[in-house]
Structure 1
Amino acid sequence: MNLPFDHLNLRFNPFGELTSDQRKQVAFVDIESLTKSLNKEATAIQFLADHGRGKTTHLLSLHDYYSKTEYIKIYQGDKPDFTEQFIRFVDSVENLTKKSRLELYKKTSSIAFTSHADLSKELHKAGFSVTTIKVCMENELTLRDIFTQRIKFAQRNDGAIPVVDQFAIKKLKTLYGDDIRSMEGHLYELFQQMERIENVKV
């Protein structure tokens, strides 16, 4: 019986949807300087970028250092009732109304969140010291490392595996700019169709 992706020496398509825990395992982020920041009261860390640039991956990776603290995802139209928390992680804070965000700040001593918009002004007014991380994944070497990590995570056995080389990355950047989510979607479709281990052709 042939196992799915066995012909590529993989256990599954490396560019399929991952769980939060899996995303932490394959994350390729630089957050070392932030890992103790939230222990100081009135600290805010915002990860800024458009859709698909890796904001959530950064937030999840930082949350790993504060794994006992609250992590919530906000969807359009959500109106959560916030309780008092010393440290809180919020994904997609821009989906809250300004009124809800101000309530969030009042109920939180230190916070890390993702956003499409820079909320520094309202955070400063609420008494927070703000660190802003503009998430950008357009460096070709970084992209290569991210894609290689995803493929190795799906690797079945020792031995050769498919490679996303610099030529493929240049083409992906031409198609999608720095939208890593769209790049991974494109690679997912290519891996679905691959018949043998080789350099991926975009």
Structure 2
Amino acid sequence: MKTNLTYNPFSGLLAEDINAVLVPRFNMETLISKIKQPEELFTIEFLGKQGRGKTTHLRSVHQQLKGFPIVFLNAKSSASEVLNHTKEILFIDSIHHLKIKERLQLFKQKKTIVYTTHYTRKWECLIAKKKIYSLQFNGIEPETLQLILNKRLLLASPEGLECENLFSVKDSTVLIKKFKDNYRAIINHLYETYQ
């Protein structure tokens, strides 16, 4: 199964490889166009449980709008990391690490905010009088998973060589049965398999 690969195809993705393996859950061009509209300020939330692909999609959208900051928050992050940005578009991974008061302060700013979250922030946006577009990240079809996994295999294959052991829909179905829609758990499992 591991033959002819230049690296473990299920290791972390380089920024330049994200779009080569991503199968977008929404129309990327429509979303980018919406974000670029300066006359309307809003938030876009990528909503779903951990491991469903929210951060990967956020990074992909950000790559197409590189002139704007992206902030990856964690439990030790300071609110000033996001509140002090002056650009009109801001990308935030894991907005739940901010306190509600800080999120409200952020949502009241005159900028478009694209963020990932485990729980919807619609009430906070309503309080801040900011329009919200929520994109759900749940469920995965075997055909979609098959395409993503095979794109990763082909990316790790030496140039000009086809990968010998591509995933079938049956393989993807088995993985979904075991891990449900937890894409990160599937990738972690395959990383160990390809070590």
Fold in common (TM above 0.5): yes
Q: Which runs of structure 2 are paired with 1:94-133 in the superposition (5 Å)?
A: 94-133=96-135
SS at match of 2:194: helix
1:94–1:112 Cα change, 3 Å = same
1:105–1:18 Cα change, 3 Å = same
Unaligned runs of 5+ in 2: none
1:183 and 1:145 map into 2 onto residues whose CA distance is 14
1:100 and 1:21 map into 2 onto residues whose CA distance is 32
Q: Is 2:166 the partner of 1:163?
A: yes
Counterpart AA for 2:154: K
Deviation at 1:166, TM superposition (A): 1.8
Higher relative contact order (CA 8 A, sep 6+): 2
Match of 1:44 in 2: 43
2:64 and 2:110 map into 1 onto residues whose CA distance is 18
1:58 and 1:124 map into 2 onto residues whose CA distance is 25
Deviation at 1:176, TM superposition (A): 0.6
Q: Which has more radius of gyration?
A: 1
1:75–1:21 Cα change, 3 Å = farther
1:170 and 1:42 map into 2 onto residues whose CA distance is 41
Per-residue CA distance 1:123-148 (angstroms, 9 max, x = gap): 12212211110013511111011111
1:74 and 1:46 map into 2 onto residues whose CA distance is 15
Match of 2:62 in 1: 63
Runs of at least 4 residues off by over 6 Å: none
Q: TM-score, normalised by structure 2?
A: 0.88
Question: Which of 141, 147, 150 is the equivalent residue of 1:148?
Answer: 150
Q: Is the deviation greater in 100-109 or in 170-179? A: 100-109
8 Å contact from structure 2 (residues 88, 112) kept in 1: yes
% identical equivalent positions: 27
Q: Is the deviation greater in 11-20 or in 153-162? A: 153-162
Q: TM-score, normalised by structure 1?
A: 0.85
8 Å contact from structure 1 (residues 52, 180) kept in 2: yes
C-alpha RMSD over aligned residues: 1.8
Per-residue CA distance 1:148-199 (angstroms, 9 max, x = gap): 111111111323412121222111111110001110111112222xxxxxxx
Unaligned runs of 5+ in 1: 193-202
Question: Which of 18, 21, 29 is the equivalent residue of 2:16?
Answer: 21
8 Å contact from structure 1 (residues 38, 44) kept in 2: no
